[in-house]
Amino acid sequence: MARAVRVVVLGSGSWGTTIASLSARNTPTTLWARNDDIAREIDTEHRNRRYLGERPLPQGLRATSDLEEAAREADVLVVGVPSHAVRKTLEQVVDEIRAWVPVVSLVKGLEPGTRLRPTEVIAECLPGHPVGLLAGPNIAGEIADGMAAASVVAMQDEAVSAALQPLFATSLFRVYRNTDVLGCELGGILKNIVAIAAGMAEGLSVGDNTRAMVLSRGLAEMTRLGEAMGADPRTFAGLTGMGDLIATCTSPSSRDRRVGEALARGLSIDEAVEALGQVAEGVKTAPTVMELAREYGVEMPIAAEVAAVVTGKSTPTDAYRGLRRVTPGDEKDIV
C-alpha cells in the first residue's frame, strides 16, 4: 500500500494555518511555526489563538518549531511565510528537501530589493523543483469557519497541479487549476495595493460609487501591468484577479484594507502597521510595483497614489484629490 503524501506548511499565520487545516483533512500534514509557543499550542491544544482565535484545528494536524525536521518530512512543501522571509527560510533547508518535491507558494508580495515574485525566489533557492502557487479570494477566518470558497493551484505542469488539487480541496473549498503562474501570482500581489486604496476610501467615506470606480480601475491597472509582463489578461478576470481583488477590498478582515482605513484616520504608516500587528504586503509592494510600472511603461495612477501615501509623500485625502485630476480617456483603454 502506497504511503500517504505528507504536506508540510512553512508559516503559522492565519492563511498558512488555514491551508494546513484543509490539507490535514485529506492527508498527513505538518505545520512549521517559528514561535515555539504557537507550535506547542497547535500541536497540543489544536488552536492558533494569535491568528485564528478559538477556532478548532484538526486533531491530526501536527506542528513543530524545528524547521529542518519539517522540511525533511515534506512530500509537498507549502511556503506561507512573509515575502521578505522566503529566501532566508528556504536557504536554511536547501539540503533537507528531497529532490523533485513540489513547492507551493501562498505568498503575495515581492522580495525587497530584487523585485522577484515569490515563485521566482523559490525557484532560485530550490532549483529543479516544480514551483507554483495557491491563490484566490480567500479570507482565512471565513474558510476556517467552514464557509464555502474557491482557489486556484497554478503550475506550469498541469499533471503536477492535478495531483495537488485533491490535497487541499474539501466539499466547501473548491480548487481549480491554471497554467498561467505569472498572471495568478501578479493578481495576488497587485490587489493588495488596490485594497489599501479601498481602505482609504472607506475611511474617508467617499461613497460606493467611488469605491466601485477604484475597484474597476484598479483591476484595469493590474491587467495592464500583467499583460505587459507576459501574463494572460484573461487570468485577471478569474479567481486570482477579480475574485481576490473583491474579497481583499471589501472584507473588514483584509489586512491591507485595514491599513488603508487607519491611514485615512490620520495614523502614520508605521502606526497603522503597528496597530494591525500582522504583515500587510501591499505596504512594501506598492513602491516596488511602481518601479515595474515605469520599467514596462504602464500607467498605474491608483498604485502611484497608494505608493505616495505609504512612503509618507502624500495623505489619503490628497491621494483621492489626485485621482480626480486624472484625465479620462477612452473607457476601453482601461483594459
Directed axis angle between helix 208-229 and helix 301-310, to 10°? Answer: 100
Q: Rounded to an integer, what distance in angstroms lies between the CA atom of residue 49 and that of residue 81?
A: 18
Q: Which of 242, 265, 246, 55 is nearest to 141 (CA)?
A: 55
| Cell triple for 72 | 525533511
With a CB cutoff of 8 Å and minimum separation 6, the contacts of 168 are 19, 22, 23, 26, 134, 151, 153, 175
Residue whose entry in the numeric block shows the C-alpha cell 485533491: 166
Annotation marks residue 332 as catalytic = no
Say how many Å lie between the first and final Cα of the chain, rounded. 52
* Of 88, 108, 191, 284, catalytic: 191
| Cell triple for 236 | 485577471
Question: Do 153 and 74 contact (CB within 8 A), yes or no?
Answer: no
Question: Do 77 and 23 contact (CB within 8 A), yes or no?
Answer: no
Other CB atoms within 10 Å distance of the CB of residue 43: 17
- Please list the active-site residues: 191
